[in-house]
Amino acid sequence: MSRSSTQEKRPPARTDYELLPFRFMRMSSNRVLLVNEVGEHLFVDNAILHDLVTHQLRTDESHYSDLEGKHFLRNPGSMLPVELLATKYRTKKSFLSGFTRLHMFVVTLRCDHSCLYCQVSRVSPNMHRYDMSIATADRALDLLLHSNAEDIKIEFQGGEPLLNFDVIRHIVGRVASGTTMKRIEYVIATNLSNLTDEMLDFMKHHRITVSTSLDGPANVHDTNRPRPGGNSHELTLNGIDRVRHALGDEGISALMTTTRLSLSHPKEIVDEYLGLGFKSIFLRPTSPFGFAVRTRRAIGYDIKEFLRFYKEALDYILELNMRGVYIEETYAQIILTKILTPYATGFVDLQSPSGAGIGAVAYNYDGDVYASDESRMLAEMGDKMFRLGNVHQHSYDAIFGGETIRALAFASCNESLPGCYECAFQAYCGGDGVRNYVTQGDIIGHRPTSDFCQKNMGIIRHLFNLIDQDGDKLMPIFLSWLVGGAPQATTGIAA
């Protein structure tokens, strides 16, 4: 068959396609990021965007099939793209099913550290009246077992929760001897300074994991986290070693909090984690609660400084990965999961609606129930705006179905918040009514001056720039972070 007769048989190009919902953001003077309703993305230049929205794109143009395949447009009347988008949307919002899955038990406010950025109200180790009682623990557990969620995580917090290990032992023991069919995981958030072998045996028997704080090398960690003796770093390393010995490497994870001192040590902090065998590091800014508010002058910084620190640390982490040393940055991994997959992450701080109450809840030592850890911290600062009730006074329905949870859910659906409604990063981000209230005076918040917005915009934009400009080198690393393993050959996987 001749070429000319083949060309004669091709159907004429059409421009009668229909747009599917999408948002866009200009990344540079001629580079535009398109993002559809479920977070699938495509980079195009200005001319393609113009042709797309003015219905001048022809079906025989190379970009047409990319835009159709990624659900930015559809052939007239075709419903399959809509069904596929609906399925992905449902998957993205799957964190809503089962309702509250993370239950935080603040078993004591007592603590032997005086961390500069401490978000909670802490008291000295001899003040036992700030311990959760067995009766309060039992009532909180009754509420937890009333929840619809089949998979639950109980996180023991403080203060320093090991100082009230008896209550931890009681809660875990009661669940173990009960008849619940729920699958319950336990984690203890501890500074490890009061760890005993008996506690480790108990944790091993009941498969309890540990989360600790490690701010970096000793000079950074000990300055951020003073305690009598000034030896927090030494105790932390010793505790990590003992936990690993008893529970295995998977039995412990670590988090860091960035202070002004940390800003000048990004590589040293990453090296500290690597040197201790951690495969991930979570680069977190300070939050505007508790002691961090009082010490802001000493340890605080503006969000631009944090973003500079974050990018430098992330660049170093990526450089290490390219040299064959596997370590992931947790916040990037969460955002990349949202960018590159349709799956929900379960990270309550970056959800729409936010996880406050509907994803996570905190039971304070005195039985008060809060929509989030942050709202409990706010209460310790004297403002009980987001208190949902008390385990001794209110029913499950009153606590979990009340006006406070509803107001927070309403105020954190970024699909309808000013500034978020049209944002290209909407599918990757979330709302935080409690933080808005604390930092800006109301639960809706003001996006242009929001640190939360600036932080997330900065990080998400940086990740997209890396994907667009250096995708060949970096996509195998990013994909390996999604599966928790070293990069494999990943040809054919589109960004």
Partner 1 sequence: MEGIEPPEGYVRLAGMDTSVYGLEAIFRTCYKFTDRVYLYLSRRTPTEVEVYARARDGAMVGEEIRGDFLNELVDQRVRSDVAKETIKVRELLVAQAFAEANLIDDATEIADYRQDPLGIGKSSV
Residues at the interface with partner 1 (CB under 8 A): 18-24, 26, 37, 53, 79, 82-83, 85-87, 89-90, 93, 418-419, 422, 446-449
Q: Closer to partner 1 at the Cβ: 342 or 367?
A: 342
Question: Which strand (E) or helix (H) includes residue 418?
Answer: none
What gap in Å lies between CA 439 and CA 424, rounded to an integer?
24
Q: How far is the CB of 454 from partner 1 (least distance, A)?
A: 9
**Beta-bridge partners for 156:** 105, 188
Return the amino acid letter for 78. Answer: S
Q: Which residues contact 5 (CB under 8 A, 6 or more apart)?
A: none
Q: Closer to partner 1 at the Cβ: 328 or 432?
A: 432
* Cβ 356 vs Cβ 372: under 8 Å: yes
What gap in Å lies between CA 201 and CA 262, rounded to an integer?
35
Q: Closer to partner 1 at the Cβ: 85 or 408?
A: 85
Q: How far is the CB of 350 from partner 1 (least distance, A)?
A: 19
Q: Closer to partner 1 at the Cβ: 23 or 284?
A: 23
Q: Closer to partner 1 at the Cβ: 36 or 209?
A: 36
Question: Which strand (E) or helix (H) includes residue 323?
Answer: none
- Give φ, ψ of 164 to 5 degrees: -130, 55
**Beta-bridge partners for 131:** 108
Tell me how far the alpha carbon of residue 215 is from its chain's centroid. 18
Q: How far is the CB of 191 from partner 1 (least distance, A)?
A: 38
Q: How far is the CB of 396 from partner 1 (least distance, A)?
A: 24
Q: Closer to partner 1 at the Cβ: 356 or 453?
A: 453
Q: Closer to partner 1 at the Cβ: 20 or 320?
A: 20
Closest CA to 261 of 323, 193, 215: 215
Closest CA to 368 of 105, 112, 120: 105
**How long is the chain?**
495
Question: Which strand (E) or helix (H) includes residue 42?
Answer: strand 41-44
Q: How far is the CB of 402 from partner 1 (least distance, A)?
A: 23
Q: How far is the CB of 415 from partner 1 (least distance, A)?
A: 9
Q: How far is the CB of 92 from partner 1 (least distance, A)?
A: 8
Instruction: Report residue 368 as tokens.
Output: 């008060």
Q: How far is the CB of 5 from partner 1 (least distance, A)?
A: 31
Instruction: Report residue 257 as tokens.
Output: 């909090």
